[in-house]
Amino acid sequence: MHAASVTVDPAFVVGPVRRRTFGTFVEHLGRCVYTGIFEPGHETADADGFRGDVLELTRELGVSTVRYPGGNFVSGYRWEDGVGPVDRRPRRLDLAWHSAEPNTFGVDEFMRWAQASGVEPMMAVNLGTRGIQEALDLLEYCNVPGGAFWADKRRENGVEEPYRIKMWCLGNEMDGPWQIGHKTAAEYARVAAETARAMRMMDPDLELVVCGSSGSQMPTFGEWERTVLTETYEHVDYVSAHAYYWEEDGDLASFLASSVDMDHFVAAVAATADQVRAARKLDKKIHVSFDEWNVWYQHRAESRPPAGDDWPVAPVLLEDRYNVADAVVVGSLLISLLRNTDRVHAASLAQLVNVIAPIMTEPEGPAWRQTTFHPFALTSANAAGEVLRLAVDSPVEETRKFGEVPVLDTVATHDAETGEVVIFAVNRSVTEAIGLDVDLRGFPGLRVAEAVTLANPDHTWQASAEDSTSVAPRPNASAKVADDRARAELPPVSWSMIRLVRA
């Protein structure tokens, strides 16, 4: 058994726990919208056609924000197709996912769904096939009370008060050659800067996200951020980051260390933003919106869209079924996001339902939790107050992709109001348990209120509609506190949470 120690002290703070860290993503892709969040006629559907079982699971998941409507989809989207009387809305081809878009769910439906689920909307504009004017039209529709064409059109459509959406994404992954309207960094920087400037003329209180790289492996990574931020820095608040991870060729050890890459990604983007800030002699700091992240097996058959003359509505796409190891990695990536809370001010798990998602549905059938649901829900529910900077002493193991990595990946939060300290920990070792020893002398008098671990001797075990509970986290009876030290045993390939309260 490995032995690892952690020292937790209230004096060493990274930054606040940000509720926007626990965002997700709804795109018109596969069955995320149609038969996902929206299925009129389903036995749980409300008057708007929203699946009640999915609404309940969204609340249980602890989602704070939802990015909409894409994703690659947004780069060809005509938002006005999806407003007004449903029977007059046109059916369009979605080039991004080779699908047909019926437009029976659009901006107003999404905003009603966001209100019903209790989430903050994060709206994206199309800077692929469209530009400044169309972005302004959508902003007017959403945020202007009345007295102008699109604002009055919203009122005609039955929505008297403006939505007042705060967060807006200026396009999506414009660095990617797969993107409709793909641009060079210089081309995108100009249109993004001018769109941001114009949008602020209409609503100066917006929070704007400019496109960063769609992955740290992109050949333009770093230079893209520098070029784009040099042009847009004064007009935006965030730069986006996107990253997906998967187990390659049976290399479980490297997969379990995926958060090493996420940490490096955040550090590189932050450094580039700070270099532009210094060169421009500006006071404002640009922060990271990690608004696409997840485990995604991109090379599986279910990730390939239809082809030829087949343009189906809501085809089965990207419906990865997650196992225990995938859930452990999701938990580890959440640890990374919290650990970087000084620079990551928002994040979005991609996506929410059916499409590489923690929630799955069957058309006309049940909704259920994937393995990845649990670390997200428990972290969202229990991380509060401030993120602490830890002193960690951990053994290392060799990985093919990242070299030597600590077997213990961990972060802690402290809520000064309640006195609670919560430790989130991942054992990256494939074969060895960890004996964890936590020095709590900075927080005397704590006791274990809850300790759970997600693990399984068979790390390939998956949840299903018939059995979504056997892979849920279980109580960890080994977690105990004595003499201001917490101790627990963490099995191999596991995610754990230990919640400590005043005795």
Whether 292 is catalytic is yes
* Count of alpha carbons within 13 angstroms of residue 431, beta-carbon side: 3
Would residue 173 show up in a list of annotated catalytic residues for this protein? yes
Q: What is the DSSP letter of 88?
A: G
Residue 254 to residues 104, 329, 330, 338, Cα–Cα distance (Å): 43, 10, 14, 21
Place of tokens 């960690």: 392
Out of 101, 247, 292, 386, the active site residue is: 292
3-state SS string for 328-386: HHHHHHHHHHHHCCCCEEEEEEECCECCCCCEEECCCCCEEECCCHHHHHHHHHHCCCE
Rounded CA gap, 36 and 168, in Å? 24
Closest CA to 358 of 380, 335, 336: 380
Nearest C-alpha neighbor of 135 from the set 85, 202, 181:
202
Closest C-alpha to 408, from 424, 390, 394, 423: 394
**Pairing relation of β-strands 408-414 and 403-406?**
unpaired
**Residue (of 115, 125, 11, 112) closest to 68 by Cα position:** 125
Q: What's the rounded Cα separation, in Å, for the pair 414 and 501?
A: 10
**Backbone φ, ψ for residue 480 (5° rounding):** -145, 155
| CA 114/CA 55 separation, integer angstroms | 10
Which is the catalytic residue, given 27, 80, 109, 173? 173
Catalytic residue positions, numbered: 173, 292
